[in-house]
Structure 1
Amino acid sequence: MSSLQLLDLQGFDLDLSYKSSVFAKSSTPPIYTINAYNAPQHLGSGVLFEFQNQIFFITAGHIFEDRKIDDMLIPTSMRFEEILGEVYITAPSLPSLKYENEILVDSLDLAIIRLEKKVADALKIDYSFLGISNVELGHQQKYFGQEENKISDYYFVFGFPATKIKSKNQHWIAEPLFFFAFNTINHFKNKRLHVDRFHYHLFVNYTKKMTNQVTKAKQKLPALEGMSGGGLWDFVGYDINKNEPVLKLVGIMIEYRRDFIISTKIDYAIALIREKFNLPKLPIPRIPISFS
């Protein structure tokens, strides 16, 4: 008798969400610092990337505001590992757009750290490093003209919100938040957020009150503080032979509003790595910006 177990639709959705989270979590550590009370304080999330035997940590640039890199820590099964290495942080002033009495700045909110070898070696025990094959360059969100309420592109959001950091037996445990989201550009355009001006970013839907697509139950998501630096993944499809989802990293989350999440395109992180760390063999898309 075959040991293969067929899943119903609900079971498949649960399995898909779980496997996607396992894959994303393997390369997405939370970021901590030690506060004035000598206790870990959660700052954000980040993604580990490897190219030509060099390990890079990609996260949101605003996490580094008023903080030194050697004050930041990544948890491992053994201890908190200091984030040591060469760092480059973007902070250009670019065109902004008014949105519901707020100003959104179309800026590259990125930080790239080339980790020291001893740090990378310590992280290998608990984390995996993404390669260029795990990244989707040139990702474009689809736009359907004047059609209303039509959605396209299926994304997976993963990170560590500060509200889900818990202490147990003097150990700090970071619980991830992950969910599938859609590109809904028309919705944003109706609110005068002209995405065609925001060349550096991707937008997906978000609301604190969501319907669980598996159980159909209403659920309330926690605030997303701490998710900054986590990955936005394009759900490419499902590999039947390997029995696993296929996800490609397309963005780094930088901020959110009441009904959407903003992520900087991964293209710009790759371009920064290539230019600032002198890696000419790293693929780079044609992007209309110069780093200074």
Structure 2
Amino acid sequence: MSIGSQNSQAGKPSLTAADELSKRLSPYTFPVYLLLDNDANEDTVEHIGSGFLISHRGMNFFVTAGHVFDHRSKGRLFYYVSDDKIEFLDRTFETTPSESKTREDDFLDIAVIIVNPKIGEGVPADGYQHQCIPENMVHRHRAAVPKCLNTIVGFPLTRNKVYEVRGNELNPQQLIFHAKQNDDSVYKKARFNKNDFYLARFKENNVVRVATGEGGVTNLKPKGISGGTCWGTMIFKEDTNSYRNGDSFLLGIITKHIPEVKSILCTNIEVAYELADILLNRIITPIPSINELFTFSINGIDIPFDITFIRPQRDAKGFFR
């Protein structure tokens, strides 16, 4: 599906539908960095992947690919919440289970980490280039989605150049690629269940769009974009050559390249919320009942108090007697 251009009333071309969509979705994906443990006095930082922020049950979580988060064994992972402030990903976490150091046995491949809930700390303040994904932009269902355009967003590691350095500033390039939605036969061929995964398909060496406006190519290898976002957008045909974007919603997390079907594998976002629930249920202490609060023991046997709440009597004017 091609997305045609739209013209402004002044006669000058406005953003194309693809550019508008890229601009809309680009703020919600973060680059992930690794501060390496070494004996040198100077810090060594590498860009290693992508991730994003969600909110759930009053808490904020950073979501990335499990194999990206596994780099914590080499140092401290972090992301930027402002131009000069970072948040380390070293709080309580939960990942999909794996017995392999390379997660070869874990196709879900997800990590969820609790972050500092303060605005301007773990959550970027309004106006910063990266933002938490609003809950109304998340498709929290395992059921199949309607026919839509897939968009993947991440920060690739290009060839041997891990990142560009301008002074002391890391400057990764964001990749935004609009892909086709696969049909059931492709899922069957790749042996992936549509309830747990999305397969975003595009051609080899196809042109990509990046947040800087520059063009480029991709060889489909998701190194660096792992942990990034996979979106779905409803597309409406305006006329013969142009289309209009509808609502966009987060579908999943980028994890792996599946070359036999020329697709990027993305785990359903619902898996991240399930991990968040496991995480919260593990760390939140349940509130004790009245009987648990008011007990005493006789010879090792717990005897609960018989507590009766008595409503005090009032006189005709409403005053307590």
TM-score, L = length of structure 2:
0.65
Partner of 2:20: 19
Q: Is the 8 A contact 2:26 2:176 kept in 1?
A: no
Partner of 1:277: 280
Q: CA deviation at 1:130?
A: 1.8
Deviations, residues 118-161 of structure 1 (Å, cap 9, x unaligned): 58635423232223211112254479xxxxxxxx4311110111
Unaligned residue ranges in structure 1 (runs of 5+): 94-102, 144-151, 280-292
Partner of 1:154: 149
Partner of 1:253: 254
**Structure 2 Cα separation of the partners of residues 70 and 87 of structure 1:** 16
Check 1:142–1:86 CA distance in 2 against 1; reply closer, same or farther (3 A cut): closer
Corresponding letter in the other structure for 1:25: S
Corresponding letter in the other structure for 2:266: S
**Structure 1 Cα separation of the partners of residues 207 and 32 of structure 2:** 29
TM-score, L = length of structure 1:
0.71
Partner of 2:304: none
Check 1:70–1:184 CA distance in 2 against 1; reply closer, same or farther (3 A cut): same
Secondary structure of the corresponding residue to residue 67 of structure 2? helix
Secondary structure of the corresponding residue to residue 116 of structure 1? coil
Q: Is the 8 A contact 1:46 1:230 kept in 2?
A: yes
Check 1:168–1:50 CA distance in 2 against 1; reply closer, same or farther (3 A cut): same
Corresponding letter in the other structure for 2:217: K
Partner of 2:233: 235
Secondary structure of the corresponding residue to residue 21 of structure 1? helix
Q: CA deviation at 1:228?
A: 0.7
Q: CA deviation at 1:262?
A: 0.3
Number of aligned residue pairs: give it.
248
Corresponding letter in the other structure for 1:248: F
Q: CA deviation at 1:18?
A: 2.8
- Matching of residue 107 in structure 1 with residue 107 in structure 2: yes
- Matching of residue 206 in structure 1 with residue 191 in structure 2: no
Corresponding letter in the other structure for 1:208: E
Deviations, residues 91-139 of structure 1 (Å, cap 9, x unaligned): 257xxxxxxxxx9856321111111235863542323222321111225
**Structure 2 Cα separation of the partners of residues 130 and 63 of structure 1:** 20
Check 1:194–1:137 CA distance in 2 against 1; reply closer, same or farther (3 A cut): same
Check 1:34–1:52 CA distance in 2 against 1; reply closer, same or farther (3 A cut): same
Partner of 2:97: 91
**Structure 2 Cα separation of the partners of residues 15 and 140 of structure 1:** 31
Partner of 2:132: 129
Partner of 1:171: 169
**Structure 2 Cα separation of the partners of residues 60 and 47 of structure 1:** 10
Q: CA deviation at 1:19?
A: 2.9
Question: Which stretch of structure 1 is more off in the superposition, 35-44 or 248-257?
Answer: 35-44
Corresponding letter in the other structure for 1:195: F
Q: CA deviation at 1:233?
A: 0.3
Q: CA deviation at 1:66?
A: 5.0
1:263-274 map, 5 Å: 263-274=266-277
Check 1:244–1:7 CA distance in 2 against 1; reply closer, same or farther (3 A cut): farther
**Structure 1 Cα separation of the partners of residues 245 and 157 of structure 2:** 29
Corresponding letter in the other structure for 2:199: F
Q: Is the 8 A contact 1:185 1:195 kept in 2?
A: no
Check 1:140–1:261 CA distance in 2 against 1; reply closer, same or farther (3 A cut): farther
Q: CA deviation at 1:245?
A: 4.9
Unaligned residue ranges in structure 2 (runs of 5+): 1-6, 210-214, 239-243, 283-321
Corresponding letter in the other structure for 2:92: E
Secondary structure of the corresponding residue to residue 149 of structure 2? strand
Partner of 1:194: 191
Q: Is the 8 A contact 1:232 1:252 kept in 2?
A: yes
Corresponding letter in the other structure for 2:44: A
Structure of higher CA gyration radius: 2
Q: Is the 8 A contact 1:61 1:91 kept in 2?
A: no
Secondary structure of the corresponding residue to residue 226 of structure 1? coil
Check 1:175–1:66 CA distance in 2 against 1; reply closer, same or farther (3 A cut): closer
